[in-house]
Structure 1
Amino acid sequence: MLVHWYPFGKKKLPESHRLLLQENFTFYKRLSDLKKSQFDHRVFKFLEKYQFIGNDIEVNEERKTLLAGYYVMLTFGMRKYLVDNFQRIIIHPQVYYSSQTEDYHKGEYNRMLKAVVFSWEDFLKGHHNNQDNVNLALHEFTHVLHWNALKSNEMSAIVFYDEFREMFEIFKNETKMNAIREKSYFREYAYENQFEFLSVILEHFFETPQTFKTELPDLFERTRKMINFDEKLLYQN
């Protein structure tokens, strides 16, 4: 109950923002009125806290609200959901070149700049196909939460970190990882390193939860506990 206890009252999103979520955000559509009001409050606080910067692209209310929606969905089970290890979101129209890595990216979490960066074209690909287990917003925001858990001593971060440590033990176990690989459920990028493994897992958790639970029930449950998520909210009513 304390996860969604707001002692100073819940903030109300402008109706235009609520309509954007209702028309464009599958997860939001299936929430109860009470859950929607909680979701609205968190989107409001997210938009209030973080700066949005467009690089050759307009930062309009639709883009800001949709990005906020994915972050709020990912953290909906956490009491402390707004973190301080990023301050801004940078949006590019398409794949962009990073002078820091000297490579092209679809998205990244840049710890030095305290920024989460997105190609809007690639964000939309994940947004419009919510069952292909590829979602740029979920992927990059998971990186944010991972790094936050490594540094923070707040309870939500501690729970996240404790569950991830158990996942990392799986990642280091060649026998267990080969068994997971043989199922061909996660794409190959999941096996690059521990960070990508976690981000890919969260993409699958939200996009194909029933398949995830069937294929890898123990890992599914560990993921659910890591973000303290109410499993009922994953499925269509």
Structure 2
Amino acid sequence: MLLQLLFQTKQQEEFEAYLIYKFIIPIGVVLILLFIIYRLQRLFQFLYVSKYRKPVFNHFYFRLKRLTPLQLSILKNQYSFYSKLSPKYQSYFEHRVAVFINQNQFIGKQELKITEEMKIIIAATATMLNFGFRNYKIGLLDKVLLYPEAFFSKLNQNLHKGEFNPSYKAIILSWEDVLHGYSIENDNFNVAIHEFVHAMHLDCLNQKGLKAAIFINGFSDIAHFLETNPNYKQNVVNSKYFRAYAYTNQFEFLSVVIESFIETPEQFNSQFPELYAMVKRMLNFNFANY
């Protein structure tokens, strides 16, 4: 009986050793190698971003999401930026719009009914501004509140056309003014673009990824360039190309500058090519003829 028990114990030990050497150790080695590879590629990406101020790649998807026929029709007919993209980039853009709609709650205020047009226009704005980044999501945002028209803001007790509330993780917009912003595409005023830039800016200040590094370092380059070139800065102010609200603070300056970059890129590049190039690099906007 004792010999039989010892024999069974030995068999058990041999079987356990077999499992360890045949499966557990190889799996452990593979996991360690995968972790090392992951860390090395992360290091490579950060070094690449530090040198070239852009990600190694922007688009990689296991499965592209599609919009409904109605949604795609709205995107094609009512969002001119989409038509400027190549067919391949249009498919990526559509995917990101669909992801934004799926991941963010749309809330109509003052009995405003949310429509597919509203979802597409808002989602496309966020997608456009983040299209140059692999990480295209805004972590500080999970809902969009739409009012029929200008609304009373509790933040500063005034009427607003739009605002970003990071504590509530919400973009709040007047739909009337969103439509007005897109009905005139060359006046350098678009409330949806303006507020989404605020959301991007604060989100990048709140994180430490590749996107944040490109965006924040890009804006630092712009600020440094203007501060060390006072004559150039004065020419920017005197030109009145950017509306006076841009000079309220650095956040408003960035939002107004990007509004102008999106709406009148040729005029921007003609008047201030150095500043234009820095904004383009900050957004990694190497598409749609920008």
Scaled to the shorter chain, the TM-score interval is over 0.9
Match of 1:2 in 2: 57
C-alpha distance in 1, partners of 2:75/2:185?
15
Match of 2:17 in 1: none
Does the Cα contact within 8 Å between 2:84 and 2:289 map onto a contact in 1? Answer: no
Give yes or no for the alignment of 1:197 onto 2:288. Answer: no
Which one-letter code corresponds to 2:279 in the other structure?
T
C-alpha distance in 1, partners of 2:169/2:75?
26
Alignment root-mean-square deviation, CA: 1.4
Match of 1:111 in 2: 166
Match of 1:92 in 2: 147
Identity of aligned residues (%): 36
Does the Cα contact within 8 Å between 2:97 and 2:127 map onto a contact in 1? Answer: yes
2:234 to 178, 184, 200: 178
Match of 2:128 in 1: 73
1:208 to 252, 260, 264: 264
Q: How does 1:96-175 map to 2 (within 5 A)?
A: 96-170=151-225, 172=227, 175=231
1:84-112 CA distance string (max 9 Å, x none): 11111100001100123211100001112
Equivalent position SS for 1:203: helix
Bigger helix share: 2
1:14 to 68, 73, 79: 68
Match of 1:27 in 2: 81
CA spacing shift, 1:206–1:125, aligned 2, 3 Å: same
Give 5+ residue unaligned stretches, structure 2. Answer: 1-55
Question: Shift in Å at residue 175 of structure 1?
Answer: 4.3
C-alpha distance in 2, partners of 1:207/1:234?
12
C-alpha distance in 1, partners of 2:73/2:262?
22
Question: Shift in Å at residue 32 of structure 1?
Answer: 2.1
- Structure 2 length-normalised TM: 0.77
Equivalent position SS for 1:4: coil
Match of 1:60 in 2: 115
Aligned residues: 233
1:26-81 CA distance string (max 9 Å, x none): 11123222111111100011011111111021111110111111111111111101
Which one-letter code corresponds to 1:189 in the other structure?
Y
Equivalent position SS for 1:109: strand
Give 5+ residue unaligned stretches, structure 1. Answer: none
Match of 1:37 in 2: 91
Moved more, 176-185 or 66-75: 176-185
Match of 1:225 in 2: 281
- Structure 1 length-normalised TM: 0.94
Question: Shift in Å at residue 190 of structure 1?
Answer: 0.7
Which one-letter code corresponds to 2:106 in the other structure?
F
Does the Cα contact within 8 Å between 1:27 and 1:234 map onto a contact in 2? Answer: no
C-alpha distance in 2, partners of 1:196/1:170?
18
Equivalent position SS for 1:233: coil
Which one-letter code corresponds to 2:276 in the other structure?
F
Question: Shift in Å at residue 139 of structure 1?
Answer: 0.4
